[in-house]
Structure 1
Amino acid sequence: MAELKRVLITGGVLAAITGAVITSIFGLISTNGHENPTPTVNSLLLPTATCCAVPSPTATPDKASLQLNAVTEKCRTSGFSDGSGSSYVAVAFGEGSCKGITMGWSVPNAGGYAGCVVDLPSEILPLSNFAYLLLRAEGLRGSEQFQIGLINDTQDPVKQHKDMERVPPEGASQPIEISLDRFIDQNTTLESLNQLVFGINYDVGEGLRDSSICITEISFVPG
């Protein structure tokens, strides 16, 4: 009987400890049956789920995806244009059927241009950790062209390191993969690049100077 009592007592203590541990773990998710509010994430960089792997000091970084709502806000507050008053780029997040960034533009006059600049989050810098810029986008009609660039904060976003890309029609989102080497030259290194540029200009051609695209992913991918 004494032996049984010791077992019961020991079991009770173990159950109490285990229950406390479980309560403390699930307390992160709910308290007294009420869910805790989801914390607001202000970083441009999407959180990456981690588990049990212990990274090597020389491990290759994973794909880093930007938060599209944060990109939208930064793009909205850092626009540029030719100053004519008729050229613009406008952005919105989660509008209509687009689950990402809706980017619309108008550049009706010869020589016109417009765009926006987004500071990259420090967590992914330097860009020498990556080999490609990956975007998923689709156009209102298809075959829309826009400019994408990577610059540093001392360079002119209108002139520097922009690459023209053509997007598929709505409902046919496909990845656009651009080598980061296309944004460097003898005077510019990947380590110096810290801003992402979107742009459009009159030279895209008739019928495409007033249009929009939907961007559902912006990521940096290792080689």
Structure 2
Amino acid sequence: MITMDFDSAFPLWPGMTVLDVGAGQGRHSFEALRRGAVVTAFDQSESDLADIKTMFGAMELEGEVPDGASGTVLHGDARSMPFPDNSFDRVIASEILEHVHEDEAVMAEIFRVVKPGGLVAVSVPRSWPEKVCWKLSDSYHEVEGGHIRIYKASELVERLERAGLAPYKQHHAHALHAPYWWLKCAVGPDNNDNPAVKAYHRLLVWDMMKAPFVTRAAENALNPVVGKSFVVYAAKPEISA
């Protein structure tokens, strides 16, 4: 399930250096690697990073890694990243900022490590679908490492601008996932045996694996209305002469 638009809004070419901050299960790291990038998956979870490293190796064995591309993992804190200034052509921060109290410190670090002229892609849960989840279930967000805030779109954009970045495009994504999470919150976020939850999950897996026209068209039409994720693309200004 790819959130970022690598084809137009956030173009990525072979040989580019990419940092995936809060890489999680690695979905964007894997896509960047397939496109020929030199990828660093960065996260606080050592178990997630171990899984990503295993997948990087499997992709190489399957011939999915182009010549010159590579994938590495690194454990650390996004509020103080161990990279020199101006290190990466592209930085991705997907669904991480809503988990961090010092979110502006993370944004400042992202600004620091991206190269002048480089691009940043940030996604967070969209405000109104997220509010529905919070109203339906306290346990959805009141857990260790859970969501600690709900961003308004304008608030996220303003914070990125304060960090020094220049937002240039935004959109919503994953409309089909919003009702799924409302359903999970209604029956209990951990109740994966609920028949309705299981049926909806099968639909989402089918959509991700097969990408049929009917669900792709439906999601594209519904994203502006009910897309669960809000995505912002921003550039680091070039250094003035």
Same fold (TM over 0.5): no
Give the structure-2-normalised TM-score: 0.26
Which structure would you say has the larger RCO, counting Cα contacts within 8 Å and 6 or more residues apart? 1
Give the structure-1-normalised TM-score: 0.27
Name which one, 1 or 2, has greater alpha-carbon Rg. 1
